[in-house]
């Protein structure tokens, strides 16, 4: 197993291009299960999670290959409806094969999911929505077993304790496109990745309105056909590289950005005094200005994304003043706090809040990544720190950031791998 070593202090400069969105491509790949016709997905990032989803599709009978950012999916052996534990346990997003399997084959057996350890993430909203469409649901030996003679359109309310659920919205939407009649999903997730999935389904022949809003309307159709689709840019990768420029005092031109997807982050960085210039599908981020601390509260989109909370904490840990970071999506998503404190940060956790007192500089140290976004947080801290930082368990980083080492090295970072 490798660890990532960073010699901090380099000022990042240059250009970088954002890859396709991980959180969009995974449900879109799953949606190919809704048809026997060929599908082509472009702009696909070569990630651990992407390859895990391709393995699941192959196990379910598809022929699926990734080549230079392009995935071609064709029907192979049809009729397999069981998503095994050994595959689904590697990432939570794989649970979104439940909806398309049930919609297409009228039955599904899907292992309860795994993924990052960032707190309790139940699947109750998924099952509630699928049941509302007329499926019989049971749980046996760690598997969700769903059956139906025919799904029927229904009113589905998907509001949860911590707001809407992206994957539950994806699952219900994919099940509903082949159901009889009209489905209305209220308190639907509004994330750009959900809207991107809906756009792909529409290209396949689905009738969907309201995606990107809290109310999605779906008129079921009898069958879907193949389609070609290009994935939206990854707003979380873009946000992470924006902060990399700021935390190192850099000057980076970030290409392939849809900055309308970054509104809450850019608003907070503007409040902090960051210099960010908008171009045509690009952002130039200059980190040579003194920033001030800001308070952050994570919320469902278009609020501040929980997937940027850890990275923002790295920036605030070296920003003068005191900031309060409140996590309202996953209240236990603070495992990176102790690792940042090992590097000299002053962070105190109180329930769903982290109180961050900025320090002048962090010190390199051996640290351990607990999840995907925590690993990105530690990379940012390592770039800003004095001395060497070694990050263990970087397989988390590989789940969500394509060629991140190469991109950072091209920007002037001193980054390399070593064996554990």
> Annotated active-site positions, please?
116
Do the strands 2-7 and 414-419 form a parallel or antiparallel pair, or are they unpaired?
Answer: antiparallel
Buried b / exposed e over 261-271, threshold 16 CB at 10 Å, is bbebbbebbee
Helix (H, G, I), strand (E, B) or coil at 131: helix
The residues near 321 (Cβ < 8 Å, ≥ 6 apart) are 292, 293, 357, 358
CB atoms within 10 A of CB 109: 18
Instruction: List C-alpha distances in Å: 65 to 55, 58, 70, 249, 376.
Output: 10, 9, 8, 40, 28
CB 235 within 8 A of CB 21: yes
β-sheet bridge partners, residue 139:
144
Which pairs from 264-273 meet CB under 8 Å and 24+ separation? 264/299, 264/302, 264/303, 264/304, 264/305, 265/239, 265/304, 265/305, 265/308, 265/312, 268/294, 268/296, 268/304, 268/312, 269/242, 272/319
Buried b / exposed e over 11-31, threshold 16 CB at 10 Å, is ebbeebebbbbbbbbbbbbbb
* Placement of tokens 């960051």 in the chain: 274
CA gap 213, 301 in Å, rounded: 10
* Placement of tokens 């049809």 in the chain: 78
Q: In 311-365, where do the E strands start and end?
A: 322-326, 346-350, 353-357
Q: Which two tokens stand for residue 128?
A: 């509630």
Give the strands of the sheet with 155-157, arranged side by side.
155-157, 182-186, 215-219, 207-209
Q: Which two tokens stand for residue 410?
A: 């091209």
């Amino acid at each position: 197993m490798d660890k990532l070593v960073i010699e901090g202090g380099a000022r990042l400069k240059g250009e970088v291009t954002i890859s396709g969105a991980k959180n969009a491509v995974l449900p879109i790949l799953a949606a190919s299960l809704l048809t026997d016709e060929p599908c082509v997905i472009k702009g696909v990032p070569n990630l651990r999670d992407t390859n895990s989803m391709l393995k699941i599709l192959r196990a379910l009978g598809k022929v699926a290959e990734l080549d230079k950012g392009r995935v071609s999916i064709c029907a192979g052996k049809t009729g397999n409806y069981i998503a095994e534990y050994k595959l689904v346990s590697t990432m939570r997003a794989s649970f979104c094969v439940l909806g398309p399997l049930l919609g297409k084959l009228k039955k599904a057996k899907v292992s309860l999911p795994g993924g990052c350890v960032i707190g309790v993430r139940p699947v109750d909203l998924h099952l509630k929505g699928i049941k509302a469409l007329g499926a019989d649901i049971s749980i046996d030996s760690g598997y969700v077993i769903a059956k139906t003679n025919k799904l029927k359109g229904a009113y589905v309310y998907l509001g949860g304790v911590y707001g809407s659920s992206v994957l539950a919205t994806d699952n219900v939407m994919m099940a509903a496109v082949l159901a009889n009649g009209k489905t209305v999903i209220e308190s639907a997730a509004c994330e750009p990745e959900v809207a991107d999935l809906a756009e792909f389904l529409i290209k396949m022949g689905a009738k969907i309105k309201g995606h990107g809003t809290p109310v999605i309307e779906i008129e079921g159709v009898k069958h879907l056909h193949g389609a070609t689709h290009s994935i939206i840019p990854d707003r979380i990768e873009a946000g992470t590289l924006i902060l990399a420029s700021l935390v190192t005092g850099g000057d980076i031109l970030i290409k392939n950005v849809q900055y309308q997807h970054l509104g809450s982050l850019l608003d907070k960085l503007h409040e902090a005094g960051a210099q960010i210039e908008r171009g045509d599908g690009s952002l130039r981020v200059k980190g040579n200005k003194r920033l001030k601390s800001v308070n952050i509260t994570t919320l469902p989109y278009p609020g501040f994304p929980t997937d940027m909370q850890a990275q923002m904490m790295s920036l605030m840990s070296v920003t003068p003043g005191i900031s309060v970071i409140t996590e309202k999506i996953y209240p236990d998503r603070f495992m990176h706090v102790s690792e940042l404190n090992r590097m000299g940060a002053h962070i105190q956790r109180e329930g769903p809040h982290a109180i961050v007192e900025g320090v002048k500089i962090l010190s390199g140290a051996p640290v351990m990544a607990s999840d995907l976004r925590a690993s990105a947080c530690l990379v940012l801290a390592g770039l800003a720190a004095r001395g060497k930082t070694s990050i263990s368990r970087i397989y988390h980083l590989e789940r969500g950031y394509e060629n991140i080492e190469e991109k950072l090295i091209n920007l002037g970072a001193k980054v390399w791998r070593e064996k554990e």
